[in-house]
Structure 1
Amino acid sequence: MIKSTRFQILVLLLMTTLSYQQGKRPATKAPPTKAPLPEEEEEEIVEGQPVDSDGITVPEEVESEFHTCRRFLDDGSVVENKYDQCTSFCCGGKILLKQESVKCCGSEELGTPYNEDTLSCCEWWMGQGKAYRSAFLRDHKYGCCGSHLITHSSQGCCYGDGPPEPFTKRREKCCGSNSVKLQSFFGDAACCGTTATFDRRRQSCPCNDGQVLNVRASKSECCKSDFGVQAPYIKGTQFCCEGSVGTVGKEFCCGSEIGTRASDVCCEGGIVVTVRPPDKTKTKCCGTTPFNPKKEMCCEGVVKAHVRLNTACCGETPYNPVRQICCEGSVWSRATDGTACCAQFAYFPEKQSFCHKGDVYFSAAVNGNAGCGDEFYFTDEGDFLCCNDRLVTAPGKDSCCDQEAYNSATEICCDGNIFDKGEGDVCCSNVPYFPRNTTICCDLGPSGHFHRPACCGGIGYDAAAGGVCCVGNIYEGFIWPSCCVDQGYDASTDTCCGATVHPNPRGSYLTACCGEIDPKPYDLISQLCCEGIAVPIPTGMNRKYAACCGDTGVYDPRTQLCCSGVPRNKADIYNTKCCGRETYDSSTHLCCDGESGKKPLIVKSNRFGDKTACCGNVAFDTEQQYCCAGVLTKAKAGVTGCCAGKAYDRTKTICCNDRLLKIGRNVPWESAKCCGGLCMYDGPQYCCENRIYMGNARSKRTCDKY
């Protein structure tokens, strides 16, 4: 068997060598292989290819513009190799020489090479592919499931977001594109996400993420956080804490963390702190310090001993708020020191004393019960008011305006000035006014009366009286008030083009701007803007169909042609064509207009019979003359081409990229073809990516040396 195989390989190599010498691509057949099992992947091995230690084809030296074959390794890295896509192909990260019947099953990155004569491909659009013996797939007992081979009688295929997977019927279930083992009788099984199944009679999957609970659905829920974390839990015995699950009676929720009762405590900010050494009495937190609330208390982040009835803090000092008073961090006795605070001291306001600027005064000593600046007065007499530390006489007045007193029922204070409410009941820029539908408060004061009040530059104006505000300036007396940058204008008589106001065309009220350098208005009803120039629409022409013809004419494309900027009527809707600025009947004439700068020529299409043609602006007889780049020469036998303005004999030379190349005597001129800028012998050679190849190798021979 070994000798026979070696003999076959030797014959194969000999046939390949002969094929190269004859200029034909070799038709290579793979050596016979042992029939694989349905589950086996069959990879075609190309004999005679150089391979590395891993069995990967070693690519030949190639140029930088060639393709790249990428191989993804298990560690996530990528190996890249250049290869010649005209002689080789990339499949599954491997580079293989092109051979008849050898194809890629799948993508360049994830596929598998195979011989399509004996194997068939099972592939998925994401790139995965494997080949199996064609006999299996011809038998209807087997089929493809993505890149897998399945037996229809006992297997099915799971389709989902990922590559398909086969599953065993009655033992597995499709969950998305995954096959998952059943946890119960087939009829009661359900998917839990895409990675697990559960028995609906005695299990549940509240989060649908593959986590199964051994309780019914009525006794479970999904615990979710605001950040997408989730976990299933059993109601009654467990609790939810921002996506985490705790045990009722043993643990507690602190913000988004779970703490253990008797060993942890929840501190401010949702921080769980472990009590060390363990102390079951410390159940609260002061900052990050656990403490016993029955014997201790927290005062401004400091743990203090809890003494008798001390239930509040005065700074860092515990005190009894029933018997004591806290004044700016100092503790005083309500019985002996005072019942109210004056700065950091306590005093008795009920003993005809009062607090003024942090000091305590006796009413009898200063002849008053309140202070104002350096003076004192009695508040209940109603004769004085304290206005910004200034004592003013205020009979019948109840409010202060800066340092003056006023009666808020009849007067109004606007920025330190007192006005009678008869002038207004609301302040606007230091003065009073009455807000109405016809008045308005602007930055420089109230304005009105207007039909439609508006502000411009701090001043009021009537927007309903033809007025407009342009960059803080008021313009009035217009029918259609508009702004042209900072200038007001009447759009019924003028148009703003390029930041300049222009008068409308006579009688026009619907305008637009025409031109880019110096735009001017034109009438949208009777004119068209053609290349920056306003051109009138001919009388009787439908505005809907009017189109520009150069920069001076307008035409109707339905019945006219635009010939070099001149409107021309169509004599025949199908055959009338343009020839320069004139028209002609294309069914009977030719237009010789091939050379710029010269007047085109209209000639009869049968002037020289069926040999009539144009060369630039001249008609000629193709049987007597030859046209090359607008120049007529006398016709000669074999002259059949034009190369860069020069006539040449196509039977002896070929034009490739505007270069004349010689055709060798061994190459039939019909088989001489261009490949990029070179000439090749089509048949023995072929062109790929503008490179010449013979068989499966690069060829440097051109048709002049063949």
Structure 2
Amino acid sequence: MRSRASIVGFALLCLLGFVNARSSGGRRCRRAVGRCTDVNGTVINYDSCTQVCCGKEIYDIEGSFLRCCGDKSFGEMYNEQTQICCEWAPTLDYALYNRTENSPTEPKCCGPDLYDNEANPHMQCCSSWRNKPEAFDTLTSMCCDGRVGFITSTAYANCCHDVAYDRRSSSCPCGNGKVIPARKEETECCRFGSSRDNWQPYLPATQGCCDGEVYDLELEICCNGLVANASSQYCCNGLLVDQDVGNEGNVNIGCCSIAGSDQVYDATIQTCCGGVLVDRDTEGDMCCGDAAYFEDNGNCCNNTVYDRNTEGDGCCAGAPYDLVTGVCCGEDVVGTDMQWPACCGTKSFDAYDQTCCGTEVYDNPLDSRGEVSHHTRCCGDFADPSTLRPYDYDSQTCCSGVIASLDGQDGRKIDPADLECCAEEAMNRLTYLCCDDVVNRNLYKDFGRCDGNTTYDIRVSIFCEEGVRLPNPYGEDGICCGTDVFNGAEFADTQCCGESSMDGDAFKCCDGEPRELGGIPKDKAVCCGNSCIDGRDYWCCEGKAYWKGENNEEVGDLIDGMACSEFFKQSVLDRNAARGSSRISGVVTVPTTPATTTATEAPTTLAPTTENTPVRRFTPRTFTRRTIPRRGR
């Protein structure tokens, strides 16, 4: 049984809680006792619902807009209606800023700093647990793993771990923050082990990778995972050996295994044969098995040395033979009685009067003089070697796998430079036309064309669409534009545009419609919307023209190459506005004749006027930063 006093006490506590809840405007706060250490080191208890400990002092906050900027040890009270608190907890840095009245947008904190996103809408905050947050311009900088890196144009930027780079001139083959000044296709990553931090980028054209270490291909060598100086060391069977043979830097160093140990030697004065070093001048400059011999006098066949001068300088099935008088076909030496001995597979033949086509030997055909030809090739279906036969290429040619005579239709020999095959027949392309595999005499020279298997003169009639030949009243000047005939000499630069012709010096063809240049150089004109614009002064985005501004090169470097998007359009507007020019331009509207363009049309003149150019107005905004001195602990 509880005592009467305990019951009464509990009722009083409940009543006090109700009164407190009513007095705080209905806010409910779970009562808790906080502890605050003051400047003297004394721990003081406080009510966390109505008070706050800030900078080692206790403040009443009930019913107010007061808040703590910082923490219990290092902080300062502020009014959240008139001030902004920006802080960075890991380093206990904080700062207070006064709010600007009638500000259309709320400024943003980036760690202890404040930035205005209205003055520059491309500002963002770059933050990570590693680095202190930093505001940056997304047009000229990149945020890579919490670190800001300046890049001329972010349209071509990439991140390499926490490093920003321009992918047009640099690359990141290892993906670990190590950037190399070369394009991606020119680089590789030198890997060793599983830790990416130890990987190194390198240029394979001039560098090598030796178990994770990059080395110079000209000055260094890699020997069994070790990098060494190429001028003072030598790699002998995987072991580094000093070049102590008395000729450092000599490229003619050899490696010889003698009695189980590796030894380097000077290959200009010695020869290593079968683990024995011999004098190069007195015993031999080449090895045949384990024996040394002189290459000028000897011939090594099947590890046996033969006399080159008396027994032959070639080898066939392990035996010597004379390369001048014979040929080795398979395992037999043949041709000692032939003029041009040769092999056709394993068969021997005399190439002077025979030809090998596929795997068969044929007698050579007769030439135009009735003598055996010595200038032959094979003709037929090379996918089926049995169809191949030799022909004399001085008097014949091969057309579609059939041997054809070079005697033309008019009885004159066809010059190889003018030769053309028409199906299986040879013809002179200067005087004949091949129409549907039929040879026709070309009576009209440069103006002759094919109509089926016959010819016609395009100065009289012309095909402007398949199957329909139209009269050509303009002779050799007639041209087809679409399905009609036009005079190609009507203008100095007559061009086709859609279904009609136009003057190429005064118009530009845009989607099949002639557009007047209006004084714009034709090589600088760009089709945009329903007209032409000067590409030196404008960008075209979705049929609308955007003025590049006073300094085209600077803006071009920053914005050229970006996708046509809302971000692109806003970038152009902001860049032009930042210059403070009276010619700030967005979508340009310029009157044309006879109609007036709408806001979506491109200009037809060289530059916008201030009367028809929409101007964005910006309200200056300022923030006053108060630096808060950090207190000692």
TM-score scaled by length of structure 1: 0.30
**Richer in helix (by share):** 2
**Richer in strand (by share):** 1
Q: Highest CA radius of gyration, 1 or 2?
A: 1
TM-score scaled by length of structure 2: 0.33
